[in-house]
Each structure stands twice: as structure tokens, then as C-alpha cells.
Amino acid sequence: MSVRTDLAVESKEIYEKENKRKVPGVNVSTSNIGPVKITNVEVQTDEGENLMQKPIGTYITIDMPRYTHYDAEVMDEVSEAIAEELSKLIKLEESMTALVVGLGNWNVTPDALGPKVVNKIMITRHLKKLIPDSIDEGIRPVCSLSPGVLGITGMETGEIIKGVVDKIKPNLIICIDALASRKLERVNTTIQIGTTGISPGAGVGNRRMEISEKTLGIPVIAIGVPTVVDAATIANDTVDMVLDEMIKSAKSGKEFYDMLKSINKCEKQKMIEEILHPYVGDLMVTPKEVDAVIDSLSKVIANGINIALQPALTKEDINKYIQ
């Protein structure tokens, strides 16, 4: 069954559910930082890569507590969790430059996460050059870019980023993008940090040029949040819940029970997609409060990146700079 998800943890769950065993070549560990749950999925072998359909690398999933977006203290705790996990992946000396890239279309709210994060990043590269005597030596040079999308610029996002990389020669890229999830409950509540780069537009079936160490020659850390879910997935999950309830009510061994149990879920998913497509196409769904949530998420992620990139500064110092 073809399931649309950008989350490694969901790919793992889907494989384990279908095959009743752990994924070979994949190591999984979980931990907690305060109220924040962290799942670390490491794809270690070619077999694991093929089964998961995810490149070899590390995928860190941060599950936020419910109502995070309405609680300033919890937002800070999530930011600190992001910073802690990012700090483990960032291998830079103080003088090395980091480029933060906000992927996505700033005119479409569910896809505007990247550009909104970039607006809140502490930018210091120009200050290190213009007023070096006034800038503390511990502050790392950081620059940013919101390249837009092909439909706005007429250029591949990857082409724009590669041009900038060739010119300014940063030592690390951190990309932020909106993703797609398999489960409704993970929309706007899960943050994934990966070391394998990203393909803009992949979440909505519009894959563009890959942005990774392989294509750019420098390490790329990708941060993403699922902001949409496929309409066919919602319909399929609803039908599954109805079937499960009918199976519970039916008597085991009866003809109706056997018929329900014999339904092929792969064929059902394909049938739903075929029925829906002429009417809604590749419809993606997002919650009605997405405007407020994207604003909140952008602050949480930007704070986490700022703390990780500027370990010499306190959170209060960073907030003063951003304000």
C-alpha cells in the first residue's frame, strides 16, 4: 500500500504493523525532555533504507504535548528540546558559517512555516564582517534565505540554494519545510529533525531537486512539521474505524463477520483514492486554526535553532536581539 508520509517514525510504524516485526537495519530509541517525547530512528543499513524508503541517516521525532501552542512555558520547553537535539548534530567551530533556509510558499499558510521561521532567526554574518569589534567572538556567523517555490520564481529551489552555497560557502545548511503526515493526530504536533536532507514538495507529491550533502557538498539538517494530511488518508481511516466497530459487533464465525475480516486493506485504499480523485484530485487537508498554529510553530523552531547555533548566548540575549 502506498502511504503518503514524510515521517520516518510513521514509516517504521507502518512496516511493523504490516509485517509484525521490527525493521531490520533500523535502530529506535526513545527519551523524554520534560513533557516532550523524543524518538530517535537511525536507518543504518541498505536493507533498512529499502524497507523504510528513507535514506541512511538519523531521524529525530519530537512529539509536542497537547495545547503547546497556547502555553508559553511549554513552547519554551519544546524549543529547548529542539536545541538540545540539534546541538548533537551541529559540528561547527565558532568561526564557521551556518545557512538557514526556509523552504515553502509564503502565500500559502500550511506551506509558510519555513519562511516564517527564517524571519525569526538571529542573523549575524553581516555583523561579523561590518562591525567585528562590536560583536562577541563567541557569536557564530549565521545567514538565511527564503528561496520561494518554482511557481513564484521560475527557478528550482535547489538551484537557488546551490548558487548561494557556491558563492558564500557556508559550512552547514539547516532547512525548514512543511511535511505531510499519515496520522491526523501528528499534524502540527510533531517535529522531525533529519540528517539526510530534504526534497521540497515531496509531501504533497510534487518532488523537486533534492537538497542534501550529496547535491550541495556540505552537511544538511532538515527540520519539518507535518501541516497537512492526504484527504484519501482521512477517508481510509474513517472507513477502517467503521469496519473495526462492525467487526466488534458481528458474531465470530458468521458469514457477515468473515466478509468484514476478508476485506483487503490495500485494495480498499486504492479504491478510495480512485473514487476521490475525479472529485477532489490530490486534496490535502489542514486544521482550521492553521494560521495561529504556524505562527506558534515558527517561534518554537526558530528559538530552538537560535539556541543551538549561538551557544555562547543566553535565551534572553537572543530574544532581545530578535525583538
In whole angstroms, what separates CA 83 from the centre of its chain? 15
Query: How much is the pLDDT for 313?
Result: 82
Query: How much is the pLDDT for 78?
Result: 95
- Residue pLDDT, tens place only, 227-275: 998 888 888 888 888 888 888 888 777 787 778 777 776 677 778 888 8
Query: How much is the pLDDT for 127?
Result: 81
Q: Are 7 and 226 in contact (CB under 8 A)?
A: yes
Residues in the chain predicted with pLDDT less than 70, given as ranges, are 1-4, 133-134, 200-208, 265-266, 320-323
- Residue pLDDT, tens place only, 300-318: 999 999 999 999 888 777 7
Query: How much is the pLDDT for 109?
Result: 92
Query: How much is the pLDDT for 206?
Result: 55
Q: Which long-range contacts (CB under 8 A, 24 or more apart) does 263-270 make?
A: 265/1, 265/240, 266/1, 268/236, 268/239, 269/1, 269/2, 269/3, 269/232, 269/236, 270/1
Query: How much is the pLDDT for 261?
Result: 75
Half-sphere exposure of 41 (CA within 13 A, CB side): 24
Q: Are 236 and 267 in contact (CB under 8 A)?
A: no
How far is Cα 79 from Cα 76, in angstroms, rounded to an integer?
A: 5
Q: How far is CA 16 from CA 12, 19, 232, in A?
A: 6, 5, 22
Q: Are 119 and 140 in contact (CB under 8 A)?
A: no
How far is Cα 261 from Cα 249, in angstroms, rounded to an integer?
A: 12
Enumerate residues 6+ apart whose C-beta is below 8 A from 259. Answer: none
Q: Are 34 and 76 in contact (CB under 8 A)?
A: no
Query: How much is the pLDDT for 87?
Result: 95
